[in-house]
A and B are shown apart, each in its own frame.
Chain A
């Protein structure tokens, strides 16, 4: 039987506010335990929440970024349950009237096709603290620094049909929130994590299968692995006559498998009701319009512009717009060198290759966009040839010089285009290679083309790579044929 996978994602994005969603405590990552948990975050008796305007603005910006409806009124509810990392015994969230209504996200698939994934809604809520399981005399330690950090929970429709689509969606969300600067998107620090709902059904079946929810997956790769494992598990289970149970599972990256979580609460009953300490949030049209007017260009728009206006291939446009740092780098290189295609080739080729080999992100590139732009400019104006350009790039990467021009100068890589100088080098090579010249002259005229390579190599070597290769070719042919 052919099986179809159905995936929906709930992505939790920590918003990049200075202070918490309901208190004036800092949201900075990595502080000593409980030093950033104020009375409100600790749920001290009598304290009250006051909503952070940046959290609201960032949520709305995200909503506008996915072309979502922004309802005029949104309301905070309490989700009641007890847990060690939840200080008040409830999480302040939005159950019935979320701040962001239905929207959609375009994802790019490997074959340059795009697909629209619907977003059901996105709502604001507060993050919980953390339980630390080092042994404190058989006890766990609770750190509430993270408690109250604003989260935007983005809930998709079950529109994805493969792990690849799910990862592409997650990447698209990541790109949007980082483009908008509403989150640092740092998955390693937990700024972005997701719950993955996975089910399978026989192809052609209209109804969904029973889904399992894989909680708290915190990297693109883990999302892919977790789905792959889970799909296989569910199919095997059904094919062996079993049934998928609706449950919460955990992905264990070390074992590369998902496991049923021991149910911490047998029957969840969150007893949602409107938080009486917070009033309805009302967003007037002018406010939303103002935020809309300040939105930066988003990935999908950038991709279209790169393709249509800059003439890049669909593939290049997709890759270069996929993340904000990549796009910004590329656009800076282009601005310096004035040639989009050359800039794209260099960013995609030499730079990305080197970054990948060294497992670095573009933010950490030792070669700045300005430096690369100047290098590309020297390629474009033929100051150096391609081979020398690679040498210059390597030198920039290794910090052997501050600019392409300085390195070209220091290493004498300036392309030699002076015909006289090239002819002198050719004459010398011919003089030093009687056997090869003889071979060339005895060869069939139609085989000579191949044989000229040897002489080109010798001339380039003599010029230490600086001779213009096209000129060398032309002049060599003339000289050899005249002998």
Chain B
């Protein structure tokens, strides 16, 4: 399936990825060719094949419900670009 400039722009917006016009245009070609390659999957009959998400047929193990983590705010926020009063700062969010 070929891809158009609008598809790239849409994906970029969904992925919150800023793209210049030139970048967007260059990805149209690359991604179209990658998708074309992916289209070779369509030739396989998978009607009776269940999708495989994990290579091992194992199941989820469960964690005991106990508090094991203590407050490490100061340590975690040392790598944060903008904090104040223990809060992460972002441009004003309007609800």
Question: Chain A interface (Cβ within 8 Å of chain B)?
Answer: 17-19, 23-26, 32-39, 42, 44, 50-56, 80, 82, 84, 131-133, 136, 138-144, 250, 261-262, 267, 269, 271, 274, 276, 278-282
B69 touches A131 (CB 8 A): no
A216 CA / B53 CA spacing, docked (Å)? 33
B62 touches A52 (CB 8 A): yes
B92 touches A138 (CB 8 A): yes
A19/B89 contact (C-beta < 8 A), A139-B82, A262-B94, A279-B54 known: no
At the interface, yes or no: B87 with Cβ under 8 Å from chain A? yes
The 6 A-B pairs of least Cβ separation, nearest first, read A141-B87, A24-B68, A54-B65, A53-B62, A38-B69, A279-B60
A51 touches B88 (CB 8 A): no
A33 touches B92 (CB 8 A): no
Q: Which residue of B lies closest to A39 (CB)?
A: B76
CB of A428 to closest CB in B, whole Å: 72
Question: Chain B interface (Cβ within 8 Å of chain A)?
Answer: 10, 14, 16, 53-54, 58-69, 71-73, 76-77, 82, 84-95
Q: Which residue of A lies closest to B75 (CB)?
A: A39
A55/B86 contact (C-beta < 8 A), A140-B91, A262-B94 known: no
Q: Can you pick out 22 interface pairs between chain A and chain B where the beta carbons lie within 8 Å of each other?
A: A18-B67, A19-B67, A19-B69, A26-B69, A33-B86, A34-B73, A35-B73, A50-B62, A51-B61, A51-B62, A84-B93, A139-B89, A140-B89, A141-B84, A142-B88, A142-B89, A144-B88, A269-B14, A271-B14, A274-B53, A279-B60, A281-B59
Q: Which residue of B lies closest to A45 (CB)?
A: B79
Q: Which of A19, A138, A271 touches B65 (beta carbons < 8 Å)?
A: A19
A141 touches B89 (CB 8 A): yes
A24 touches B88 (CB 8 A): no
A34 touches B68 (CB 8 A): no
Tell me the interface secondary structure of chain A in the complex. loop
Residues of B within 8 Å of A278, CB to CB, are: 60
Residues of B within 8 Å of A144, CB to CB, are: 88
A19 touches B71 (CB 8 A): no
Q: Which of B61, B64, B73, B90 touches A140 (beta carbons < 8 Å)?
A: B90
A139 touches B90 (CB 8 A): yes
A165 CA / B63 CA spacing, docked (Å)? 39
B82 touches A18 (CB 8 A): no
B88 touches A34 (CB 8 A): yes
B62 touches A19 (CB 8 A): no
Residues of A within 8 Å of B72, CB to CB, are: 38-39
Residues of B within 8 Å of A280, CB to CB, are: 59-60
B63 touches A53 (CB 8 A): yes
A42 touches B76 (CB 8 A): yes
CB of A472 to closest CB in B, whole Å: 63
Q: Which of A44, A131, A140 touches B76 (beta carbons < 8 Å)?
A: A44
A279 touches B58 (CB 8 A): yes
Q: Which residue of B lies closest to A279 (CB)?
A: B60
A35 touches B71 (CB 8 A): yes
Q: Which residue of A lies closest to B69 (CB)?
A: A38
A142/B87 contact (C-beta < 8 A), A38-B69, A279-B59 known: yes
A19/B60 contact (C-beta < 8 A), A34-B73, A132-B87, A276-B54 known: no
A34/B77 contact (C-beta < 8 A), A141-B89, A276-B54 known: yes
A26/B67 contact (C-beta < 8 A), A42-B76, A84-B93, A279-B54 known: yes
A133 touches B93 (CB 8 A): yes
A24/B85 contact (C-beta < 8 A), A53-B62, A133-B92, A139-B90 known: no
